[in-house]
């Protein structure tokens, strides 16, 4: 059965809060994309009551109309896809390609490798998995800018701040554009499809706290269709599957299943899942149903970005199993969108389609901008402000994880409350602050000065006070600190991130946690 694809552009007029979990305690985290379930809920709020029972089932429950996840797009208009977990680099190696373009950071495909295809690895170097961010077919790397705001509830009786009601929201920053598609089976009535498209278009409010300052978006049909991910015919007896969204599988008896099978992707009989060549992560969550005002049953899903490897019989015909596929449950909410044999992952090193840069730039006519000192100053100021906000958000998240690490160390070592830990001192944090200032324009230089080489400040060595604090049987505070910083080491605001971490750790919270004056509940909040 063929399908009809309708593409839309979603622009954020305000910050949007899409909670990652339903937890009410601890630091709030937002998703960095708009799930298809949110878009389905938007259409349901506008259209459900006006449809008859059969039409409502077709649109919202049958899976024949699928609302894909809204994913960020690069400045040249390309859709950015979840980072495939099969891509790796060697620890400490710079993977960004030096270009003169103003697009997102372009990755150097020769410095990335895919162990699912090639086992020819350098045993003397440590591979590091790329886990965060998004990747375009042309090799551009994006991270969705997020913001963090602290808020408090207001006592309705007094009009003043309510006691013990301080909370925070992490949100997707306004001003960004996202792409999503409405995937429809071709036997759906055109009139019903037109109703759905009309219900989607226009201004809307999504996510949490819509009655306050969050959630304002604008949705419009795309003027040109989004190109799909490149894929190719399978060669040999290995077939790769890249998950573009979460995937919910069930067994024959209806139980959640996190182990994929060849039948899920219509592979030839006799095919088997290759565990050694697969890179899989999973998560569970319970979506909130606003109509019923309660949570739906928990979903256990294989996470987006996972790459699955299958071995097919040598005699099998694999010429017709490539391309975009939908599988599993909750397809109407965007789950189960995969691409079989993507070109980007078909070889030992990713093959980026750099021609798309030229095509996108030629097709998009941008308004002329006055080349004046004032415009240049305003652009620099805006860029610096955005980088500063991103560094602050990441620093607060890493700082909270470090505080939790101290609490973990106290439990592991059975250290009593009010008994101090041997943790990094103010002088050691001051060294990090000074070092970040010395390398404020060189993220790579700062990373090397911190972790690489014999003279690195945080080089793991015997008897290093503070940073060698044991958090468990195989982890120290230094290892945790390096793991938390690694995803951001290529960012131009990385030195600012380290400096802000040092400033936070010079405060009273760090001292109180080291001395055992904070309870675990206070650390979590």
* pLDDT tens-digit readout, 4-34: 889 999 999 999 999 887 665 556 789 999 9
Mean pLDDT of the chain: 84
Domain shared by 29 and 132, yes or no: yes
Domain shared by 23 and 63, yes or no: yes
For residue 74, is pLDDT > 90? no
Q: Strand 238-243 relative to strand 307-311: parallel, antiparallel, unpaired?
A: antiparallel
* Separation between Cα atoms, residue 292 and residue 351, nearest integer Å: 47
Residue 320: how many CA atoms within 13 Å on its side-chain side?
Answer: 4
Domain holding 44, by residue range, is: 3-113+125-221
Domain shared by 252 and 396, yes or no: no
Comparing CA positions, the residue from 124, 100, 128, 123 lying closest to residue 113 is: 128
| Residue 280 pLDDT | 93
pLDDT digits (tens, 9 = 90+) for 222-267: 887 788 888 877 667 889 999 999 999 999 888 999 999 999 988 8
Residue 290 belongs to domain with CATH number: 2.60.40.4350
Counted domains in the chain = 3
| Residue 104 pLDDT | 58
* Separation between Cα atoms, residue 253 and residue 398, nearest integer Å: 42
| Residue 400 pLDDT | 86
**Domain presence at residue 367:** no
More confident residue, 314 or 115: 115
**Domain presence at residue 139:** yes
| Residue 364 pLDDT | 42
For residue 293, is pLDDT > 90? no
Asked if 473 and 413 count as a contact pair (C-beta separation under 8 A), the reply is no
- The residues that bridge with 195 in the sheet, in sequence order, are none
Domain shared by 190 and 300, yes or no: no
Domain shared by 279 and 338, yes or no: yes
| Residue 84 pLDDT | 95
Domain shared by 22 and 64, yes or no: yes
The two structure tokens encoding residue 153: 């509830």
| Residue 371 pLDDT | 61
Q: Which contacts of 295-301 are long-range, i.e. CB under 8 A and separated by 24 or more positions?
A: 295/22, 299/248, 299/256, 299/330, 300/248, 300/256, 300/258, 301/246, 301/247, 301/248, 301/335
| Residue 384 pLDDT | 62
Report the range out of 161-170, 246-255, 414-423, 484-493 with the highest average pLDDT.
246-255
**Domain presence at residue 88:** yes
* Separation between Cα atoms, residue 499 and residue 265, nearest integer Å: 48
**Domain presence at residue 153:** yes
pTM: 0.68
Domain shared by 313 and 398, yes or no: no
**Domain presence at residue 366:** no
| 19-23, 37-41, 261-265, 300-304: segment of lowest average pLDDT | 19-23
Quickly count helices (H) and strands (E) in the chain.
11, 26
Alpha carbon dihedral 104, 109, 112, 116, in 10-degree steps, equals 120
Show Cβ contacts of residue 347 under 8 Å, excluding neighbours closer than 6 positions.
114, 117, 118
Domain shared by 167 and 37, yes or no: yes
* Separation between Cα atoms, residue 301 and residue 329, nearest integer Å: 10
| Residue 363 pLDDT | 40
Domain shared by 242 and 182, yes or no: no
Show Cβ contacts of residue 130 under 8 Å, excluding neighbours closer than 6 positions.
83, 84, 85, 87, 88, 89, 112
For residue 171, is pLDDT > 70? yes
**Domain presence at residue 314:** yes
Domain shared by 439 and 505, yes or no: yes
Q: Residue 259, class by beta-carbon neighbours within 10 Å (0-12 exposed, 13-18 middle, 19+ buried)? A: exposed
Q: Counting every residue, how long is the chain?
A: 525
Domain shared by 196 and 340, yes or no: no
**Domain presence at residue 232:** no
Which pLDDT band holds residue 94 (cuts at 50, 70, 90)? confident
Domain shared by 203 and 247, yes or no: no
Comparing CA positions, the residue from 32, 71, 69 lying closest to residue 177 is: 71
**Domain presence at residue 364:** no
* Separation between Cα atoms, residue 9 and residue 12, nearest integer Å: 10
């Amino acid at each position: 059965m063929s399908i009809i694809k309708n593409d839309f552009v979603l622009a954020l007029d305000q910050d949007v809060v899409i909670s990652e979990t339903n937890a009410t305690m601890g630091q709030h985290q937002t998703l960095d994309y708009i799930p298809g379930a949110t878009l389905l809920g938007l259409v349901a709020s506008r259209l459900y009551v006006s449809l008859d029972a059969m039409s409502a089932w077709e649109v919202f429950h049958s899976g024949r109309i699928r609302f894909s996840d809204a994913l960020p797009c690069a400045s040249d208009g390309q859709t950015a896809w979840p980072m495939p977990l099969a891509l790796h680099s060697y620890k400490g190696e710079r993977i960004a390609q030096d270009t003169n373009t103003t697009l997102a950071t372009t990755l150097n495909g020769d410095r990335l490798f895919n162990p699912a295809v090639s086992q020819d690895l350098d045993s003397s170097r440590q591979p590091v998995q790329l886990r965060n961010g998004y990747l375009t077919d042309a090799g551009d790397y994006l991270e969705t800018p997020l913001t963090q705001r602290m808020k408090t509830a207001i006592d309705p009786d007094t009009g003043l701040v309510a006691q013990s009601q301080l909370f925070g929201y992490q949100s997707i920053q306004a001003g960004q554009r996202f792409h999503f598609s409405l995937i429809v089976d071709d036997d759906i009535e055109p009139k019903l499809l037109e109703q759905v498209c009309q219900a989607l278009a226009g201004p809307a409010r999504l996510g949490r706290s819509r009655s306050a300052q969050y959630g304002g978006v604008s949705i419009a049909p795309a003027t040109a269709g989004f190109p799909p991910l490149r894929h190719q015919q399978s060669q040999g007896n290995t077939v790769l599957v890249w998950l573009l969204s979460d995937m919910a599988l069930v067994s024959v008896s209806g139980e959640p299943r996190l182990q994929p099978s060849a039948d899920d992707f219509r592979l030839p009989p006799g095919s088997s899942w290759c565990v050694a060549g697969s890179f899989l992560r999973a998560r569970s969550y319970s979506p909130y149903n606003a109509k019923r005002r309660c949570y739906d049953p928990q979903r256990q899903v294989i996470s987006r970005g996972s790459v699955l490897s299958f071995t097919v019989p040598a005699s099998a015909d694999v010429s017709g199993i490539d391309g975009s596929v939908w599988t599993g449950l909750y397809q109407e909410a965007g789950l189960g969108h995969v691409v079989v044999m993507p070109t980007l992952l078909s070889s030992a090193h990713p093959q980026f389609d750099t021609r798309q840069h030229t095509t996108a730039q030629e097709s998009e006519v941008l308004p002329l901008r006055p080349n004046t000192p004032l415009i240049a100053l305003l652009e620099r100021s805006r860029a610096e402000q955005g980088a500063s906000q991103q560094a602050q958000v990441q620093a607060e998240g890493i700082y909270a994880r470090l505080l939790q690490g101290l609490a973990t160390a106290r439990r592991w070592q059975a250290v009593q409350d009010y008994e101090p830990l041997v943790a990094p001192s103010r002088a050691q944090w001051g060294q990090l602050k000074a070092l970040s200032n010395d390398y404020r324009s060189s993220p790579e230089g700062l990373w090397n000065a911190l972790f690489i080489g014999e003279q690195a400040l945080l080089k793991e060595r015997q008897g290093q006070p503070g940073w060698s604090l044991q958090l468990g049987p195989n982890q120290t505070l230094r290892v945790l600190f390096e793991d938390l910083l690694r995803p951001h080491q290529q960012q131009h605001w990385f030195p600012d991130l380290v400096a802000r971490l040092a400033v936070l750790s010079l405060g009273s919270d760090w001292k109180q946690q080291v001395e055992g004056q904070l309870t675990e509940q206070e650390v979590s909040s």
